[in-house]
Amino acid sequence: MDAQESTNVKRLELTRGYYALLDAEDYEFARRFKWRAVIKGKWTNAYGRVDGEDVFMHRALLKAKQGEQVGHKNSNGLDNRRCNVRLCTQPENRRNNEVAAHTTSGFKGVCYSKRYRSWRATIGIMNRDYSLGSYATKIEAAIAYNIGSVEFHGPFARLNDIGKFCSGRHVISEDLLTPRPLGIDDRLAKIRESREAPRLMSNGPVPYEGYDAPAA
């Protein structure tokens, strides 16, 4: 879990030895109902019956309507604190996915190209992949992905945690976005100017809210 029980954060016991984290005000609401831990693949969520309707706890708390999704910023489905849950669309929720288990690089949006003998960074925008360039090291490609994710995914960006992979000349700042890889700005400009690139934000970029590390 990301937070321990305190005056403002409460644990609500579930089945199978699990518990949900809640803000104190939501705890008083949730404790009126019975909840159980539901495990599906890598996800674990709290599920119960509220006012005659079977519903996930996070959806009940945010009063999500049909067609609306609720995402957990840190990918912990039992961390239902208000700071960690948010209404979103399905594409927005996918942007916050963790790195795929089958990736060989260990980084999201990074793969090795045998043809070009380099590490390539790509980013998905509205069901289409865009190139962020090719780099000599996977760390540079991972930084390129981070920069592109902040640019095009806004508050739903999930950044590669590259600090523990750094050595030698790769001195990474705490924001996980520098040093800026050579050529990344030209790549970003091409994506923005592409006819096929959708206008994700009609009023300009959405501020990035900061990196949320996956729950332990």
Structure tokens at 106: 């260990």
Helices (H), the chain: 24-30, 57-62, 90-95, 138-153, 184-193
pLDDT tens-digit readout, 6-34: 679 999 999 999 999 999 999 999 999 99
In eight-state DSSP terms, residue 33 is: S
Which residues pair with residue 79 across a beta bridge?
21
* Cα 204 to Cα 3, 130, 141, 146, 199, distances in angstroms: 33, 20, 25, 19, 9
Give the pLDDT band (50/70/90) at residue 197.
Answer: low
Average pLDDT, the chain: 82
Burial class (CB in 10 A: 0-12, 13-18, 19+), 11: middle
What phi, psi does 56 have (nearest 5°)?
Answer: -75, 145
Give helix 184-193 / helix 138-153 axis angle, nearest 10°.
Answer: 40
Evaluate if residue 216 carries a pLDDT over 80: no
**How distant is the alpha carbon of residue 105 from its chain centre?**
18
Res 164 pLDDT > 70: no
Give one word for 196, left, alpha or beta, with left for phi > 0 and alpha for psi -120 to 50.
Answer: alpha
Q: What is the pTM of this model?
A: 0.64
Task: Quickly state the pLDDT bin for 198 (edges 50, 70, 90).
Answer: low
Split at pLDDT 50, 70, 90, the class of 90 is: confident
pLDDT at 194: 79
Choose among 65, 43, 74: nearest CA to 156: 74
* pLDDT value at residue 204: 42
Q: Which domains does the chain have, with CATH numbers?
A: 9-88 (no CATH), 99-193 (3.30.730.10)
